[in-house]
Amino acid sequence: MKDTQRGNTEKVERLRELASSVRRWDLQVVHGAKLGHVGGEMSASDILVTLYFAVLRIDPSRPDDPERDRFILSKGHSAVALYTTLAHAGFFPLEELKTFAQPLSRLNGHPDRKKVPGVETNTGPLGHGLPVAVGAALAAKLQDSSWRVFVLTGDGELQEGSNWEAAMSAAHYKLDNLTVIVDRNRLQQGDWTEQTMHLEPLADKWRAFGWSVREVDGHDIAELLETFSRVPFEPGKPNCIIAHTHKGQGVSFMRDKAAWHHRVPNAEELATALKELEEVAS
Amino acid sequence: MTQLYDCRDAFENKLRELASQDQRIVAVVNDSVGSSKLNQFGQMYPVRLVNVGIAEQNMIGVGAGLANGGLIPFVCGASPFLTGRALEQIKADLAYSNTNVKLCGMSSGMAYGELGPTHHSIEDMAWLRAIANMTVIVPADPVETAQTVEVAVSTAGPMFIRVSRLPVPIVHDPDYHFEIGKAALLRDGGDITLIANGVLVCQALAAAEMLAKEGIHARVLNMSTVRPLDNEAVQAAATETGGILTAEEHTVFGGLGSAVAEVVVSTHPVPMRILGVPGVFAPTGSASWLLEHFGLTAQGIFDAALELVKRKG
């Protein structure tokens, strides 16, 4: 196995278990609320867990620490995956996840930074995260601070032009403290990205905009760890990690299915999914 | 001859002065260095003038990110593009996220005259005041513009400051003290109240002078904060003067007049007139010609006020 060959087995194993737990909580929360976007949440879970448990310099007891690393979930519709990861990391109790989407819950369908500790900016409309991340990375540079900024975008989301305005400015300002991770699950709401609006050659696009690009298996935690450890890839250039992922990863009947963008699992589907994920975790 | 001022100068002077004392202040522009009059700021603080190029959506997001990093960004651009192009970013990244960003809409209203309706910003008050958690300020003269910049630095949260390039006289005393959400009583009277903001405050004052010669005593309020509105001043105007005329360099749909009417109809209904651009794209003409064309002058306010006083009986 690729993971074990690279060593660091225990850490990787722990992160895998966490990612499985995040996925199981996610599916149960979405099932309970009858609302959510499980497909993109399953594809992003390994990335989120790797970031929160092994990469980000953050302290859940001090979410406003000025020197913290910033993480921005640009694909705000994957809110439940973020909430579940934040809860696992200790930003708020796991039990609170069960209030998701209930009246007056802090946990809205899309994240609200005024209510949820650990959320940096309110997302939901697409193409908003990267511009804000550019500003935060620039703020670090202007103040000679060492914090870093990570932003997770969807792939379909890159059809929004605001991302490319931001991409241009990040390279112009030489923001090597900024890393974008593209959750390249190849599916958007209704179809494959390449059927809807061509994104390829995606890596070349980022390179042409002045970014240093790496492509990884977004479900290989060891590879993710190693890639994040090499940031900045090149001094003076912003970093782009194209994470090749699968929508619905971890659940056989959801994998690579556009329908699971925002379909809610019924009781039977949930039971099957949880069983599959438990088997992987054990 | 009364001396006239471009409020952008007062804006830039105060911003530069405050920037020398407060390292957190940065300016963000969309290539609009000259049109925001920020050349001198850029010479003194080259690193703190962030030019994102002609990219308004990114500009607002970058502003939000700079605020996330503890800075106080003044995001400056021609008002039509700053507001219209990036309205969703303003809603989500600034207002809903409650970020400490100051949006500065330069050359607002019809200041760009002959450049045409693409360059006119006569919807910005309506758009911005419809968004929860936005403070919307339209200063009337250089005194108030400078004070607005000071208040913007000392008050946390998102704010829209509408800065005109049309020359205006000073309408405030040197000891004037601007407060968010507080109308300034510039002239008292009991027959009618003229409520204006921005470049029309001086016209309302001149109209009040003309009305006085007809024996009509007009109260004049500078309603520089459109949101949160000074509801008390509006209610007092309605109950004490029995008629309200509003004047704004803006469409009559959703701006100052609408904001005042919302309070009047739900508290103390009295006859009103709302002067502004009557829901059309302006024809070709200079800024001053267009103001005349739409009756946004002392004479226009005077004529409408006379009618209103007659109507209320």
DSSP B36-86: TT-HHHHHH-GGGEEE--S-HHHHHHHHHHHHHTT-EEEEEEEHHHHHHTT
State the pLDDT at residue B312: 85
Q: What percent of chain B stands above pLDDT 70?
A: 100
Instruction: Write down the number of H helices and E strands in chain B.
Output: 12, 12
**Residue B12: what pLDDT?**
96
Chain A contact present for B58, CB below 8 A: yes
- The pTM assigned to this predicted structure is 0.96
Tokens of A15: 């992160």
- Least trusted range by pLDDT, from A203-212, B32-41, B172-181, B228-237: B32-41
Nearest residue of B to residue A122, measured between CA atoms: B97
Closest CA to B241 of B193, B312, B187: B193
Residue A34 is part of which domain span? 2-281
- What residues in B contact A161, CB-CB < 8 Å? 57
Q: Please, are residues A127 and A157 in contact by the beta-carbon 8 Å criterion?
A: yes
d(CA B134, CA B262): 18
Residue B299 near chain A (CB below 8 Å): no
By Cβ distance, the residue of B61, B71, B96 closest to A131 is B61
Residue B59 CA to residue A61 CA, distance in Å, equals: 32
- Please give the ipTM for the structure prediction: 0.95
Locus of tokens 């990391």? A89
Question: Does the beta carbon of B105 lie under 8 angstroms from any beta carbon of chain A?
Answer: no
- From chain B, the residues in CB contact with A133 under 8 A are 65
Chain centre distance of CA B92: 22
Mutate to test the interface with B, among A169, A180, A209 (most CBs of B within 10 A): A169
**Which residue of chain B has the CA closest to A120?**
B68
Tell me the chain B residues in contact with residue A137 when contact means C-beta distances shorter than 8 Å. Answer: 65
The CA-CA-CA angle for residues A264, A266, A271, to 5°, reads: 115
Backbone angles phi, psi at A127, to 5 degrees: 80, 15
State the pLDDT at residue B143. Answer: 97
**pLDDT on residue B242:** 97
Sign of the dihedral defined by the CA atoms of residues B86, B87, B91, B94, in that order = positive
* Contact assignment for B70 to A125 by CB distance below 8 Å: no
Going by C-alpha positions, the residue among A163, A168, A179, A173 that lies closest to residue A138 is A173
Quote the CA–CA distance of B286 and B280 in Å, as a whole number: 16
- CATH number of the domain where residue A174 is located: 3.40.50.970
DSSP A69-138: -EEEESSGGGHHHHHHHHHHHTSS-GGGGGGTTSTT-S--SS--TTTSTT--S---STT-HHHHHHHHHH
The letter for the amino acid at A56 is L
Interface of A with B (CB under 8 A): 66, 70, 112-114, 120-125, 127-128, 130-140, 142-143, 145, 147, 149, 161-162, 165-166, 168-169, 172-173
Enzyme catalytic residues of B = 56
* Chain centre to alpha carbon of residue A19: 12
The β-bridge partners of B29 are B51, B76
Which of B97, B100, B101 to substitute to test the interface with A, most A CBs within 10 Å?
Answer: B97
- Please state the separation of Cα B62 from the chain's center in Å: 24
The rounded percent of chain B whose pLDDT value lies above 90 is: 97
Chain B residues in contact with A180 by the CB 8 A cut-off are none
Helices assigned H by DSSP within A143-220: 161-172, 193-196, 202-208
Report pLDDT for B18: 98
Q: What are the chain A neighbours of B53 within 8 Å (beta carbons)?
A: 165, 168-169, 172
From the list B53, B70, B92, which residue is nearest A169 (CB)? B53
Environment class of A77 (CB within 10 Å of its CB; exposed 0-12, middle 13-18, buried 19+): buried
Radius of gyration of chain B (CA): 19
Looking at the complex, does the CB of residue B96 fall below 8 Å from at least one CB of chain A? yes
The confidence score (pLDDT) of residue B313 equals 76
- Smallest CA–CA distance, residue A125 to chain B, in Å, is 8
Query: What per-residue confidence (pLDDT) applies to A229?
Result: 97
**Mean pLDDT per 10-residue interval, chain A, length 282 residues:** 64 96 98 96 98 98 97 98 98 98 97 97 97 98 98 97 98 98 95 95 98 98 97 98 98 95 95 93 65
Q: Which phi-psi region, left, alpha or beta, contains residue B154 (left: φ > 0; alpha: ψ -120 to 50)? A: alpha
Are residues B89 and A165, on separate chains, in Cβ contact within 8 Å?
Answer: no
Q: How many residue pairs bridge chain A and chain B with CB atoms within 8 Å of each other?
A: 112
> B53 to chain A: nearest residue by CA?
A169
> What is the radius of gyration, based on Cα positions, of chain A?
18
Q: Kindly list the residues from chain A whose CB atom is less than 8 angstroms away from the CB atom of residue B61.
A: 128, 130-132, 134-135, 162, 166
Q: Are strands A149-154 and A178-184 parallel, antiparallel or unpaired?
A: parallel
A143 and B64: CB-CB below 8 Å? Answer: no
Domains, chain B, with CATH or none = 7-163 (3.40.50.970), 184-308 (3.40.50.920)
Backbone angles phi, psi at B195, to 5 degrees: -115, 125
Of B47, B57, B65, the CB nearest to A135: B65
Q: Determine the Cα–Cα distance for residues A142 and A54; give it in Å rounded to an integer.
A: 27
Q: Which pLDDT band holds residue B124 (cuts at 50, 70, 90)?
A: very high
Could you give the count of Cα atoms lying within 13 Å of A191 in the half-sphere of its Cβ?
A: 6
Whose tokens are 């959510």? That residue is: A36
Q: Which of B61, B66, B70 faces A66 most closely, judged by CB atoms?
A: B70
Residue A257, classified by CB atoms within 10 Å of its CB into exposed (0-12), middle (13-18) or buried (19+), is middle
Nearest residue to B223 (alpha-carbon basis) of B201, B203, B238: B201
**Inter-chain contact B96–A112, Cβ cutoff 8 Å?**
yes
Listed in sequence order, the DSSP H helices in chain A are 2-5, 9-33, 38-50, 79-89, 129-142, 161-172, 193-196, 202-208, 221-229, 267-281
Report yes or no: B192 and B242 within 8 Å, Cβ to Cβ: yes
- Residue B304, SS3? helix
The reported pLDDT for the residue numbered A7 is: 58
pLDDT of B68 over the 80 cut: yes
How close A192 gets to chain B, by Cα (Å)?
26
For chain A, the domain total comes to 1
pLDDT at B1: 73
Q: Which of B158, B70, B24 is nearest to A120 (CA)?
A: B70
Contact list in A for residue B70 (CB cut-off 8 A) is 66, 139, 143
Which residues neighbour B126 within 8 Å (Cβ) at sequence distance 6 or greater? B250, B251, B253, B254, B255, B258
Strand, coil or helix: what is B299?
Answer: helix
**Nearest-Cα residue of chain A relative to residue B71:** A139
Q: Rounded CA gap, B71 and A141, in Å? A: 12
Helix (H) or strand (E) holding B302: helix B298-312
Element (H, E) at B143: helix B142-154
